[in-house]
Amino acid sequence: MRAPIAVVLKCYPRLSETFIAQELLALEQAGFTLNLISLRHPTDAKRHPINDEIKAPVTYLPEYLYQEPRRVFRAWRKTRKMPGYRKMRNQWLRDLRRDFTANRGRRFGQALVMAAELPSITGWIYSHFIHTPSSVARYAAGMKDLRWCASAHAKDIWTSPDWEIREKLGSAEWSVTCTAGGAARLRELAPASAAVHLVYHGLDLTRFPNASVSGTARNGSSPDDPVRILTVGRAVAKKGLDTLVDALARLPESLHWHWTQIGGGELHGALKAQIARLGLAPRVTLTGSLPQQDVLSAYRAADLFVLPCRIAANGDRDGLPNVLVEAASQGLACISTPVSGITELIEDGVNGILVPPDDPERLAEAIER
């Protein structure tokens, strides 16, 4: 019998992380026993049906240590007797000197709780994202003398300090990431002995079966049946939704269209204000986050999928957006940008259109085409 794997997640479940849920379910179906460790409680009001299929129990660590001081204190009393405690405490102090933040203190406190409460039969620790979840995983694994590994994605690769990524890759048994660009970045930073593997997320086609193509695509000539443009993505800087709104405002009056955006995000208020300022509100629907079955229905009702990604000012960027893979699986024409791993899926003029990021004029031309 395989020893259970402890999987460290930043927040579980999360509507924007169906790729993680898909992997967890596949691991369970392959016979692995999982224990999920979440750094945060969920904030989404809805959840995907796939999360209900995952049987693994979830342990929620104290998001802020002051919320559960007794739990943290009990954990410290237990973990300080573990053979790896002193080494990990010293590692944390070195990390803290280089990044003197409250976040760094929280991660060590969460690692204390995780190490103290982890079942003794645990065989591995596996973390999703190489920033904060991997900090907790690394500290806890060191205290328990367990092997650990990590899956890196996008923001965590491009906004974490080089020294931190380098040391984590050297400590982990292996790591994976989902784009060739991300893998190249990790290999550039990794010690010679570190194993970095490229593993694309893929798509479960039983959940996204091929859509039947009716051959009645709209062309924008009818005001009663406008072209349906779709974006699935949070309103955050790296998605470039402000560029898309500017592009929509540039489309000719003779072209009839309606844009639907699915997803939450901290820039939702600014996006709504921009839409109102440009007089586009009657032609736009912002749904907020939706469960997967509703997203699938939206793909099938749309004519065009647009996601004008960019590299944000802080270096954050997408890897290979899973929504582009999902949209392509439903036969949707896709327009995006040549940022990060997108060119690993879309070849300009062959299976989609790529335009420069932050260029509303070129984006409008591509949509009109």
- Angle in degrees, CA 339, 202, 234, rounded to 5: 50
For residue 93, the SS3 value is: helix
Backbone angles phi, psi at 148, to 5 degrees: -140, 160
Contact 127, 5 (CB under 8 A): no
- List all residues 6 or more positions away from 57 whose beta carbon is below 8 Å from its beta carbon: 35, 36
Per-residue pLDDT, averaged over 220-244, amounts to 95
Contact 139, 86 (CB under 8 A): no
**Could you tell me what percent of the chain has a pLDDT over 70?**
98
Cα–Cα distance measured from residue 47 to residue 30, given in angstroms and rounded to the nearest whole number: 23
pLDDT digit string (tens) for 149-194? Answer: 999 999 999 999 999 999 999 999 999 999 999 999 999 999 987 8
pLDDT of residue 369: 84
Q: Do domains 5-198 and 227-368 have the same CATH topology?
A: yes
Closest CA to 319 of 159, 141, 82: 159
Which pTM value belongs to this model? 0.89
Please count the residues of the chain.
369
pLDDT digit string (tens) for 5-37? Answer: 999 999 999 988 999 999 999 999 999 999 999
- Which tokens sit at 260? 């639907």
- List all residues 6 or more positions away from 198 whose beta carbon is below 8 Å from its beta carbon: 176, 177, 178, 179, 180, 183
- Least confident interval from 70-74, 99-103, 202-206, 276-280: 202-206
Cα–Cα distance measured from residue 129 to residue 160, given in angstroms and rounded to the nearest whole number: 11
pLDDT of residue 366: 97
277, pLDDT greater than 90: yes
CB neighbourhood size of 285 (10 A): 13
pLDDT digit string (tens) for 67-103? Answer: 999 999 999 999 999 999 999 999 999 999 999 999 9
Domain ranges of the chain: 5-198, 227-368
Per-residue pLDDT, averaged over 338-344, amounts to 94
- Least confident interval from 41-50, 147-156, 294-303, 348-357: 41-50
**Could you tell me what percent of the chain has a pLDDT over 90?**
89
Per-residue pLDDT, averaged over 276-281, amounts to 97
Per-residue pLDDT, averaged over 115-119, amounts to 97
- List all residues 6 or more positions away from 76 whose beta carbon is below 8 Å from its beta carbon: 112, 116
Please give the CATH number for the structural domain made up of 5-198: 3.40.50.2000
Q: Is the domain covering 227-368 a CATH 3.30.1490.20 domain?
A: no
